[in-house]
Structure formats: structure tokens, C-alpha cells
A and B are shown apart, each in its own frame.
Chain A
């Protein structure tokens, strides 16, 4: 177990909206702001489209951490999408807590498209947090051979 922890590189999936979070990730790139390689982005038109199911299925598939990143509150391109997403993230966190994966592995972030630096900070913050938490319990089971896919 310790051995796993030492070399543990979490897989983190960022569910990003098109107008702000994805654009901020692009800007982090053009500004060459470095962050860990652990984060992989999935693009959505709006975080309002990010269903709880996607969050949970991502954990089921093998993610150690997931976060939803949308526009700043009040600045959603589709007016209220990010507020809807916020509620769903809260709900999904409680489900994750209930089933023992841990709600802290899922987060919601808001940032504007000009915040490349912030995007990188979030990526780092999330990676460090999940690294400290260790592999998702689902993945630990898989490693022990407890679950077959």
C-alpha cells in the first residue's frame, strides 16, 4: 500500500465549460504556466450540461479525482448553467461520501477565461489534494483484484 502511495499519480478529470474554464486552460497554455500532467479535460458547452451521472461514471471508470469548472458565478454564458452545476456537484459529493469514495474527490470551481494562472493553480491544488488522499477506493479494489471490469 505504501509502495502504491509513493508512486501514486492520480488520474484527474476536469469537466470544463467552453466559454470560461476551457478558455482559461488555453490561456494557461499560451502563457506557459506549468501544472501537473495528471489533469485531463473534457469539454462541455456549459457546466449546466454536466450531469451528476457524468461525475459518478468518471469515478467508476477509474478517476481518482474529478472537478467541474465553469464561469464565474453570475457570468455564465447561459445565465444559470454554473449555478445548476454547483448544486449537482454538492449532491454528487454527498453520494460519494455515502458510498465511501469520498466527496472531497469532487469539486466545483469557477473562473473566468482570463484566468490562466488560476486554471493552473486549480490543477495543482486538485492534484496535490488527490495525491494526498491516495487512489480512489474503487481503484484500490481493482489493484487488489477485488473488482474486475
Chain B
């Protein structure tokens, strides 16, 4: 072995491929790619950023052009993907990083928390019922709201709820005690006041006090403040406290002492009492020592009664003491006892919350004069009812709340003039705004930026205060450091001066042996986090540590201390316990809120002000000033909340969740997966119409988006399918659709491809819902370029009377009063017109998805200027990073079938990359061997589900269970809270064994979602899954008969009775394996056929490629350049080279298919090869699947004089001429192109899709060759969808003139006096030609007569144009390849009315044929561009590979079976089977291939001899079920 070879081997080892694929995006593309891959042997990780898979399609009502119900067709895909064992559905996930290379990637995925355990959630909806938070529903396009915990629609997968939650709302985060503020506000908005006050109490033992005196830092951070004013948070809390006093139960928490340890708390202020409360709740014995004769600390002695009535303090403290806390009054530390005394009494821990009640001294001259008071002592005297006379004139020095209290108390004590002297400006003052405002209202005079120099006195009494002006209060570091301006002295006369300049704790009690250190600020030193002092077991908090701080900070400190003390006493490290909150990650969404304000999604509404006593009413008394909200005011104010945390943390859901599956502490996490390939299908967003303000969306309620209209149309939507105006709920009479909103404009150079069709669909549906509605669609070009689209468009016009107006209105105006909308538009030659509408629908375009850009960056992909990934036209699904493939709207706006095709195509590419690893990572479910029950009598087990309260809340479940017990065959009955929960399922398997059950009836919800769960359960217990029956007593009973519990119970019994009756008749069914052939056959050797064949070969399958011509290449041989100037010839030759060099491809040129038989997995084809001398040679090949890629051909007809003059050519001929000799075109000056030749005509009513692009492409080419050539393009609609729009724009910019014509005004080509129209020569009496209008005819008469002339009506000018041309180019349509019809008969693969092969489902099975095992691609299916054909060919290979890759086929189960004894060979079954499965066999009786039967039962119902039965739906099973309903009646 040489060294090079060794090196390669080594490389191979290191880069071993991985048989798994990452699919990014859980929309229809991602789901399709995942299913194809998982069904052909690869492990799939499906990453979806939202909580649910399904994408935008789940929001649609119907799909064009068949008006299929979107939910009906997408739900089965969701279920299949959801239940697929080899697809890991990673929801709420985003790709974080991709490392490695093709074949071997390591992908880091970020998982956002769902907060709901999917495996435990039973979707019972109890959580969402109690959730008070409503936010706009994404699913209903914001027409309705949803809860913070929700499931967007019934069929959503995962079938579990999700909690939409940011980590914590800013209000809660700011609140020192972290009250769930958004939570109680949300609860108030729903009128749940008891729940709200209970929530407040979880963190705040003093709600009444807090709501009166809190400085509410929460309000400063409230995001509502960004809109108008912050929420009145504290007033709302006050409302709750007031409400509780009148209506509530009051706190009735009881505790029992569970710890031996005693805790001493010194100081009965807010910090001490909070700690006492928390510790008592934790089960400790707590004693509180208080120096004064009353508890409350500064609450009681520092705060005047007009702010905080005494009885309120007393009540709240009593609540706390009721927990069994011992309170010792008149016990001052240092005077009545010492720390050592406490230790001696057995207190293991002590909490010092002694407050800061010693007033700071003002060190100025005169501070000892009579009439100088310390604020705290002054307030203490006032508040304890002592007579205090401050005199007529009072000065209060200080700017904090204590100063305000002193000033306002002084007024109440009879002072006539009270002045505040504050160092700070009004904004700098630490006092709360309300206090300052109320003081001002009461007549207090403020002197800002003024400081005391000395107090002047006479005879030992105060006479005045000399002041200095203040330069600054704080230094550059923000520290308090006032600087005075010299020589600014002035004097204020006064009788007394109250000093409110701060307090410090009185620490005189500390003795050396206590070991308690004191800080430089004269407060107790503690460890910042744990509040532990330097002495073991002694903690300190509140003002004693912080110096004077707010009430709420003191409470926070109390909570803190309690946590610490508890940890300490349990022997844990307090530092670990109290560090929790640092883990929090905050997402305040400020940007989002600003964006919503900008777009007007949040409307301004002023904050509700609390009623208060007028200054006159309150001036000379201590009555409470603030009067509190009424209930209505509180609810109204609560509704202003922006819900910025989304989840409000009110905890209601977890309280009611029966399986306890909500976990608020879920954290984001990173996961790593290893995959061999990556498929990107991140999807799209719809354009935000608010960015086009001129159209009025967001301002005018009756301007809505097409997605919103879709929801209005949906029977499952917010109006149940009724079309209503948002402004008044009235049914609109006239509706306008405005097209191209966010498409084909300055910012969007592309066409969104789908809007013309969806608007047409919505218009048709609107007319179907309400036949008297009139619909106008304002449109530039009707782009109905897909299969069946033009038919749909024609029906819209002809059958539904929908009016298309070819123009783009620039704005929408709302009419006053009516709310109607006025649209002005240009109507051809008639000029400006105006129309009024009741409703305007904006057809919003498609934009790249938000995550596209970041995906592009993370994977190093080059996105186009809009943010789409616009791939190479010859490799449309291959990205510029090897091993990464792209599909769906990520590659540009496209419709569903196109997306699904690309998805399958990208799956095929991933599969070919990883072919050698197919099957390496997939798992198969293995069940124990099945028990033979054929000889047993029925032993039925019935499981009756409560479904939480969903069933049991209405139906008497026990009665149903009792009823079931007596039914024939039933041997076991039980009821379950949730039959589908994990533990019950396990239990069910036990019961099956224990009671030897051989039939199971689950009486619960719907088999559509739940039957597979129980069937798997049975298989796990060795029972055949067909011995199962479900009684749907929820969806069909309790939920729809909620008001009639008795009748519902009766009905539930009947339903269970019917199910038991059928169960008794059930028979086990088996599926059995049959072998299959793993080869493929591809018919057609054009680009599509070669691409499909190559992919098969790359995936490891042998393939027969059959081409009837003598060379490969097909139609592409005639195309010489495409938009990006690439030559398809290069593509063809490279494909041919690869095909010829690929040993797995068996090429059959000059060959046609002659015979075809068999079924999926086992086809036999006879190929007939024409040899040189026309001798035919036949050969048989066997194959498991077949792909039809027989192509199409250019239309050819006598239209517009084709064939009469060599200057009239087709686009392909033009292209050939340019390619062979473009020099000849230097002479050609005037060119007229005519579109829709052989397309959109009576004979060929479909659009050929590619001709507009062809014309634009060739026009640009001619302009390139001869820039001054004059080119006219006569068209019906220019259909340059997706990015081709850019070329259309370029053509117009380069002077190509586009003239619209319609069916009433078809162009005419005049050659030598003969007129030719669409159907060839026009024969009529007198040809109306106005010679005077011939322009540019030249001078020379002979030349003139030889000119090609074209007449066409110009709708904008309203005149006939007479054009002359050197060349007329006809854009010929595409027609099916010759022989398609015969092939269709041979394959039993249907063709449509236009002769193209028909797909099984136009949306979701675009490359499958209804006859299983046959697939189609390329022009044989419909006209398409090369890049589309390539994607479709790869898709067809992908779909076929899901069959070919199977080891064997599983057939049988619930399929039809013929009793040959009874069969009369009448051919009825052969005739009626929609899938042509039954055949009359050699024995002369009908035979149904179990591999092909779809199990519909049509044959069985139609068989006159009743010789065919459908297994699992046998006559006895159905009839017995029905009869049982009446067995108790007769």
C-alpha cells in the first residue's frame, strides 16, 4: 500500500459520515424534508424556534387552487411527524453554532425553556383557563388574544401547552422584595382580587402599609412609562389591601413549630417583623423584643397618621403575630437585656433589626437653641399624641420623606407657614413625588438648593435661619458631598427649626464580648449577602445595617435574613442559599415595546389617579389623604399593563395543573447533536403592513391584512368563519384587496409569488360565505402561473364575479363616521376614479424570516440583498457550504407545492451525501410477541377517563364506569384522572396481564390524536393493536353538552355501550412483510430525468434511464442561456458525462416503455428499443418505483402568422439564432414580442409559466447586442415571479416597452396585407386599418410594404397602436410531450385536462402520483424553469427513495379482502376503486393486492355480491355497534 492511499484511509476514518440530518425550521418544508429522510433510513433532528411545528400553513383556511381545507391536509403531516420515532422534534430551539464539515457536523442548539413538561402535559386546558394574562394571538394574526400559557389551535403539535415567559418583568425585578407585580395586576384585570392579594402576601406581609408608604421603585422602571405614564402599581396594591379589608378572607395561614431552634429578633420594625413572619412560617419559635410600648418601629412612630392610619399598622402586625410569634414590648437591648442574656436563654440565632432612630446632629451654630427639634423626636411626639407646638413659622431642614412628614405634621399642629430648606433641587430630592406634591398642595414652601449656615436666636430661642446657596450636592462619583457658594447668605425668619437630615442606629448596646463590628458609617457590619455579623449566629438587617432606607428595603432585608438564618440553623452555608436570584436572566424587551409604540399597537391611555382629600379637607387634621381606587378604577388601570414579562408569575396555572407539569424554574440550555448534513428551511415572515403607513393598517380598524382575512374566513377562526369588520362587527358589503403590499416596490425588488393567488382564493371564499359581497382586487399583473391557477382565476372572474382592477392605488383614506375606506385609482384613459369600501384587505408579501439572517451568518452563507438564500440556478438546493442544503421560502418567496418539492429535493441531496450511513442511526420499536386471543371469549377492559375536569366536570364518570361493568364481555373497569398520562399507561399494561384482557375500550377523548398512544400500550403488553376501540366522551359529549350533565352522562353510557359492542366483535389483524425490488426506472432523459437518475445512483440504487430519442438532454438542448447568463448546454453535457460514467445507471436510448404491470415495490416494465434498422428489441426490467420525466414541447400553431414569414419566430428560434450568429441582430432595430401564444387561450387555458421570463430574458439579450433596438412586449400579465421581477424591472429601465392587451383586444400581425390573429389568418369583409396611424414606416415605399406590422390596442391611451417590426417573436407556450396520453393509460397514472401528468395532491404531494410507487417531475407535470425542474426531479427521487430504501414492505391491516366463493367477477370493484387496485385474476375472480389497497372500503360497499369486506370495518362490527345503541330501548 503506498503512502497516498494510507493517507486517504486515514482521512476517511477521521471524517466518518453520520447517518443523521439536522432540519432547521418546522414549517411544511421542514416537516416534509424530515419525513422523507426519516422514512428512508436517516435520523432527523427537526429544530423549530417556536413552541409548535406546522408553521404558517396552520394559519390558512383553505389552499388554492382546490380550496382544500388547510387544516385537513396539514394535520395528518403534523401527526405523522409528531409520532415519528426517528424524528427528534426540538421546539423552542435555535441553531447556535455549526462546526465540522459535510458528512460530519457538530451543531450546538440553544433550547429555550417551555416551562411545561411535554411528556406529562395532557392538554387539559385547566392552566389556560386561570391564566390572567392576555396577549395578541399569533395564530389568529392578532385578531384575538391568547393566554400566556397556551396551545395555539386544537391540532397543534406537540399536543401540549407552552408558557410564554420572559425571565422576569422589570417591575418585579426592581421591587426589593420581588412581589409578582405583573401577576397581581393581571389578576386584578380579571377581577380575581382574592388571588391577587394572596399573591402580594407571598412576598409582602404588610400589603396595607406598603401600599401607603412604599416609594415604589417598581413604577420608575415600569415600561408603561415609555408609552405614557407608569402603571399606578402601588395604588393597585392599595386597592387590594382595601378590598381585602372589606371582602377578603384575610390571611389565615397557620403554622406548626417544626424546629427546636429558637430565634430572637430585636426590633419590631418592618425588617424584624418580616423575618419573624418568614421564620414562623418555616416552623421556628420566634420571640421579638421591642424597646417601645408598641410594635411597628418607624411605621408607628415615624410616619404621620394622615399617611398611615394607626389601625392599619395594628391590624397587619396582628396578622403576623397570629402565627404564634411572641412579642416582648418595653424591652430595650442594652437597657433591659444584653446579647449575652439572649444567648443564655437558648437563642441560637439573633436578628438585630433595631432600626436607625438616632437623629444626626446638625453641626452649625445655634443648634442647641430652644425651638430646634430633631425630626424623629418631633414625629414621635406628634404620633404618640403628645402636645407639640412648633409655633407659627416653621423651617424644616432636609429633603427626604422624614422632612416631608415633619413639614406636613407641623401644618397639622397649627403652624401657619412651613418652609422646607433642601440642599437638593426638586428632581434630586430623595422624597417621593406624591409627598412633595401633597406638601405643596398643603401650602408648604420649598427652598431648593439652599443649605443651613447657622441658626439665629435671641434669648435662647430660635429667630431665624441663615442659609447659603448650594453649588452641588453630589460629587462626581455620585456621593453626597454638598458644596456651598460663598457670600450667598440670606436669612429666613422662623419660630422653630426641625432637623430632618438623617438618622443613625443607636449602637450603644454593643459590648466587646459580643464580637459585633461596626462600620465607618456607624452601622452594624454584615456580610453583604447573608446579613451575618461578625459574631456567630448573629445577623443584622434593616436600617441598623443600611442606615435610613425605605420601608420596602427593610422588608427585603427581613426576607433575606430569614433565608440566611434558616440555612444557618439547618447547617447549610447561607451564602449558597441566598445567591439564587443572581442566576436570573432578564429580557425586558424595551426595543419591542418601543417598536409597538411606534407602530401604534399600544394605544396611549393616561394613568388612573387615586382620589384624595382636597387640601382644605385635610389641612388641620390627620385624616388619611389617599382614598383608594374603586373596583372599576382598579380593573381599568390594571388593563393598562403591557405584560412585559408575558407570564406574570401569578402562579395560578401551577396551582390548578392536575399533572403538576409546569416548572417555572426551567432554564435555557445548550444541546449538541452530530449530523452528516443540514437542511435549512427557516421559512418566512409576512410583511408588516404597518411599515406602509399610507395604507392605513394599524390606524384604520377596517384595513386588515390578508392573513387576518384568512383567519376571519376560517371556521376555526375568531369569528367562526363570519366575515366581520373590526370597527363595528358589521358584515362588509364591498371589499377591496390591495396587491403587492411589501412586494414589487422600492424595498422589495422581488415578487412574493403567492399573493395574487391567495387574494383570489380569499375573494372566492368571501363570495362563497356571503354571495352578496362585492370584491375588487387592485392588481398590477395577475400572476396565476402555477398548475390549475389560471383556471382558478378565470372562475373567480366568470363564476364569482370578482373584479380585477389593473392599477396600484397609492393610499387608503378612512371616511369619518362610517369607518369606510376610500380608494382613488387610475382607470386607464378614464383617469382618476374613487371607490368606497367597507373593508380593505392588504395582500402582504413575503419577507425572509428573522432567523434567516442569523442562520446565514452562523453557517457562513451569502444571502441576497433581501436576506433570502438565492442559490445557483443549476443547483438550486445546494448552499455554498458543503453539506448544507436549502429549501422552501428561505430560497425566495414560493407557494406550498414548490416548497414541498424543494424540501423533498433537499432531502434527496442529504440522503445521497450520507447514503453509506443509511439505517445506521434509526431505531425501531420492538414489541413483545403477540398473544393469540383467537380462541378466547372477549375479555374487555374499559378505562373511563376524567380528563381532569374536562369530562368529569360534566359527565358522571363513576356512573358511566358502573354502567360499563354490566355490559356483555366486560371483565374489568377503572376510571382514571388522565388515562393518557405516563403512569396510567404503565398501569394499563399491568391490568392487561393481571385480568387477561383481550380487548381494550378507552372512554376518553378522540382516537384521532390518542388511539396510537393506547394501541402502542397494548402492543407493549402483547395485545394486537386492532383489538382497541375508543369511546369519545369528551369531544363528542362533555365538551358539547356542558349545560346538560344528566343527558351527557346518558349519552356517554350509550357511546361506551356502542364501543364495547364493537370491541367484542374486533379481530386481530396483522401486517406482513413482502419483499421489494430496490431499483428505479426513470422515463425521460432530459434534465429532470438525468437529475433524478443521478440522485438515485448517488443514493445507492440501481436505475434504468429510458430515453426515446437517440440522445440525452431533451428540451434543454434548445436553450442556450438563462438569466444569469449560464449556458444550459454546459449543464446538459456535465449531466450526460455523469450519467454515462455512473455504473449504477443503465441507460436505454432510443427506447420506449411498452408494457407495465405490478404494484408499488414490485413493478415489471417491458422496454422496447429501436435499433438502427428499425428492428425492435424488447427487454423486461423489474423495479420498485418509477419516475415519469417525459418532458414537454413547444407549442406550435398558425397563431399570428407563424410559418408565413421567416421574420415571425418563436422565442426558442430567436434564442437559437442569437446563439448561432448574434452579429445578425446588429441590423435588427424593431422587435415585437407577443406573449401567451398557445397559452391562456381557449384551447390551452393554462399559463405556460416560463414565457414571460423567456421574453424578458431575450429582450435583455437583444438590448445587450443592440442597445438602441426598440422592443415592444405585448402581454396579458407579466408573470416574472420571485426574483425574476428584477429582470422585468431592468428591461423596463432599459427601454423595453410593455403593452397590455386582453382577450377583447388581441393583437394582429399584418404580413403583406394579410392579417393574422391568435387563430391564424383573419378573414373578414373589410379590414379596418387606419393608415394614418402607421408610425416609423420609413420613406421607401417598397420597404414599407414589406414591413411586418402589428396592431394592438393600448389601454392607457385608449387607442390602437400600429407598430412596425423587423422581427416578431412569439412566446409559444409549453404543451405535454407527444405520447403522454398513451403513457398515462399504460401506467394508470392520470393526466389532467391539459394533458399533463397529475400529482396525487396539488399542495402536499406534488411529485407523487395517486397510484403508489409512481412519481413525476419536470415538464411532464407542468411547464417550469430549469431550476424548478431540477428541484422537482430531486424531490421525485426523494419520494421514491422512501420506498426503495425499505428492507421490505408492510402490507395488510385494515384493507379490503375478497371472498372468492362469492365473487361473480362483475367488475364493479374494478370500476369503482379510485386507485385501480382490484383486478380479475386468472381464476376469474376479483383480487385485491394488499400492498396497493388504501383501505377506503368503497369496493366493499359497492360489491353487489357482498364478496368484499373491509377488515376492521366488518358488517358485524358496524351493525352490532349500531344495534347496541338501541338494545336498551326496545
Does any Cβ of B come within 8 Å of A69's Cβ?
no
Does any Cβ of A come within 8 Å of B1162's Cβ?
no
A88 to chain B, nearest CB (A): 7
The answer to whether B1498 and A11 touch across the interface, beta carbons within 8 angstroms, is no
A77 to B1454, CA, bound (A): 16
Partner of A75, one of B66, B154, B720, B1047: B66
Known: A26-B1006, A28-B1035, A45-B1513. A40 touches B1054 (CB 8 A): yes
Does any Cβ of B come within 8 Å of A122's Cβ?
no
Does any Cβ of A come within 8 Å of B1510's Cβ?
yes
> Which of B217-225, B466-474, B1521-1529 lies at the interface?
B1521-1529
A111 to chain B, nearest CB (A): 9
A74 to chain B, nearest CB (A): 7
B622 to chain A, nearest CB (A): 55
Partner of A74, one of B66, B1496, B1518: B66
Does any Cβ of A come within 8 Å of B1445's Cβ?
no
A62 to B69, CA, bound (A): 35
The answer to whether A49 and B1040 touch across the interface, beta carbons within 8 angstroms, is no
The answer to whether A45 and B1454 touch across the interface, beta carbons within 8 angstroms, is yes
> Which of A51-59, A94-102, A125-133 lies at the interface?
A51-59
User: Which residues does chain B contribute within 8 Å of A71, judged by CB atoms?
Assistant: 72
Partner of A19, one of B70, B72, B1032, B1515: B72
7-44 of chain A: CB within 8 A of chain B = 11, 13, 18-20, 22-23, 25-37, 40-44
Q: Which of A33, A46, A53, A81 has its CB near the most chain B CB atoms (within 10 A)?
A: A46
Q: Which of A30, A63, A75, A80 has its CB near the most chain B CB atoms (within 10 A)?
A: A30
The answer to whether A84 and B69 touch across the interface, beta carbons within 8 angstroms, is no
The answer to whether A53 and B1523 touch across the interface, beta carbons within 8 angstroms, is no
Of all chain A residues, which has the CB nearest B721?
A117
Does any Cβ of B come within 8 Å of A4's Cβ?
no
Q: Which of A49, A88, A149 has its CB near the most chain B CB atoms (within 10 A)?
A: A49
A79 to B154, CA, bound (A): 26
Proximity string of chain B (1301-1332) to chain A, C-beta cutoff 8 Å, 1 when within and 0 when not: 00000000000000000000000000000000
User: Which residues does chain A contribute within 8 Å of B1050, judged by CB atoms?
Assistant: 37
Does any Cβ of B come within 8 Å of A1's Cβ?
no
Does any Cβ of A come within 8 Å of B780's Cβ?
no
The answer to whether B1501 and A50 touch across the interface, beta carbons within 8 angstroms, is yes
User: Which residues does chain B contribute within 8 Å of A77, judged by CB atoms?
Assistant: 1496
Does any Cβ of A come within 8 Å of B1042's Cβ?
yes
95-123 of chain A: CB within 8 A of chain B = 112-118, 120
A28 to B714, CA, bound (A): 14
Does any Cβ of A come within 8 Å of B1494's Cβ?
yes
Q: Which of B1036, B1475, B1526 has its CB near the most chain A CB atoms (within 10 A)?
A: B1036
Known: A80-B1498, A114-B71. A30 touches B154 (CB 8 A): yes
The answer to whether A51 and B1501 touch across the interface, beta carbons within 8 angstroms, is yes
Does any Cβ of A come within 8 Å of B1044's Cβ?
yes
1493-1530 of chain B: CB within 8 A of chain A = 1494-1498, 1500-1502, 1510, 1513, 1515, 1518-1519, 1521-1523, 1525-1526, 1529-1530
Partner of A42, one of B716, B1047, B1521: B1521
Interface residues on B, range: 35 or more
A26 to B1454, CA, bound (A): 23
User: Which residues does chain B contribute within 8 Å of A37, judged by CB atoms?
Assistant: 1037, 1041, 1044, 1047-1048, 1050-1051
A136 to B1530, CA, bound (A): 13
Partner of A26, one of B154, B715, B1529: B154
Known: A22-B1008, A142-B1530. A27 touches B154 (CB 8 A): yes
A115 to B1518, CA, bound (A): 26
A79 to B69, CA, bound (A): 15
Does any Cβ of A come within 8 Å of B543's Cβ?
no
The answer to whether B714 and A49 touch across the interface, beta carbons within 8 angstroms, is no
The answer to whether A29 and B1498 touch across the interface, beta carbons within 8 angstroms, is no
A69 to chain B, nearest CB (A): 13
User: Which residues does chain A contribute within 8 Å of B1018, judged by CB atoms?
Assistant: none
B648 to chain A, nearest CB (A): 25
Known: A40-B1055, A72-B69, A113-B71. A34 touches B1501 (CB 8 A): no
B52 to chain A, nearest CB (A): 15
The total of Cβ contacts below 8 Å across the A-B interface reads: 174
User: Which residues does chain A contribute within 8 Å of B66, judged by CB atoms?
Assistant: 74-75
A38 to B27, CA, bound (A): 40
Does any Cβ of A come within 8 Å of B1's Cβ?
no
A31 to B714, CA, bound (A): 13
A45 to B1055, CA, bound (A): 18
Does any Cβ of A come within 8 Å of B1410's Cβ?
yes
Does any Cβ of A come within 8 Å of B1474's Cβ?
yes
A114 to B71, CA, bound (A): 6
Partner of A13, one of B72, B720, B1522: B1522
Does any Cβ of B come within 8 Å of A48's Cβ?
yes
A22 to chain B, nearest CB (A): 7
Proximity string of chain A (60-84) to chain B, C-beta cutoff 8 Å, 1 when within and 0 when not: 0111000000011011011111001
Proximity string of chain B (1470-1482) to chain A, C-beta cutoff 8 Å, 1 when within and 0 when not: 0010110000000
A11 to chain B, nearest CB (A): 7
Does any Cβ of A come within 8 Å of B654's Cβ?
no
1024-1061 of chain B: CB within 8 A of chain A = 1032, 1034-1037, 1039-1044, 1047-1048, 1050-1051, 1054-1055, 1058
The answer to whether B1502 and A84 touch across the interface, beta carbons within 8 angstroms, is yes
B1363 to chain A, nearest CB (A): 45
A30 to B1007, CA, bound (A): 14
Of all chain A residues, which has the CB nearest B1037?
A37
User: Which residues does chain A contribute within 8 Å of B1006, judged by CB atoms?
Assistant: 22, 26, 29
B1402 to chain A, nearest CB (A): 12
A26 to chain B, nearest CB (A): 4
The answer to whether B69 and A114 touch across the interface, beta carbons within 8 angstroms, is yes
Does any Cβ of A come within 8 Å of B318's Cβ?
no
User: Which residues does chain A contribute within 8 Å of B1472, judged by CB atoms?
Assistant: 80, 84
User: Which residues does chain B contribute within 8 Å of A50, judged by CB atoms?
Assistant: 1501
Partner of B1036, one of A18, A36, A41, A44: A41
Does any Cβ of A come within 8 Å of B61's Cβ?
yes
A28 to B154, CA, bound (A): 10
B1144 to chain A, nearest CB (A): 36
User: Which residues does chain B contribute within 8 Å of A62, judged by CB atoms?
Assistant: 1525-1526, 1529-1530
Of all chain B residues, which has the CB nearest A46?
B1496
The answer to whether B1036 and A23 touch across the interface, beta carbons within 8 angstroms, is no
The answer to whether A43 and B1007 touch across the interface, beta carbons within 8 angstroms, is yes
The answer to whether A42 and B1526 touch across the interface, beta carbons within 8 angstroms, is no
Known: A28-B1035, A32-B1039, A84-B1472. A112 touches B69 (CB 8 A): yes
A144 to chain B, nearest CB (A): 13
Does any Cβ of A come within 8 Å of B75's Cβ?
yes
The answer to whether A113 and B69 touch across the interface, beta carbons within 8 angstroms, is yes
A42 to B123, CA, bound (A): 25
User: Which residues does chain B contribute within 8 Å of A23, judged by CB atoms?
Assistant: 72, 75, 1008
A62 to B1519, CA, bound (A): 12
Of all chain A residues, which has the CB nearest B1009?
A26
The answer to whether A34 and B1042 touch across the interface, beta carbons within 8 angstroms, is yes
User: Which residues does chain A contribute within 8 Å of B1494, judged by CB atoms?
Assistant: 78
User: Which residues does chain A contribute within 8 Å of B1040, judged by CB atoms?
Assistant: 28-29, 32-35, 120
Q: A32-B1040, A63-B1526, A75-B68 are in contact. List 16 more A-B contacts (CB 8 A).
A: A11-B1525, A19-B72, A28-B1035, A37-B1047, A45-B1513, A49-B1498, A49-B1501, A50-B1501, A51-B1515, A54-B1518, A57-B1522, A61-B1522, A72-B67, A79-B1474, A112-B69, A116-B716
Interface residues of B (CB under 8 A from A): 61, 66-72, 75, 154, 714-716, 720-721, 1006-1008, 1032, 1034-1037, 1039-1044, 1047-1048, 1050-1051, 1054-1055, 1058, 1410, 1454, 1472, 1474-1475, 1494-1498, 1500-1502, 1510, 1513, 1515, 1518-1519, 1521-1523, 1525-1526, 1529-1530
Return 12 A-B CB contacts under 8 Å, by A number.
Answer: A22-B1006, A23-B72, A28-B1035, A29-B1036, A32-B1042, A40-B1051, A41-B1032, A75-B68, A75-B72, A113-B71, A118-B715, A149-B1530
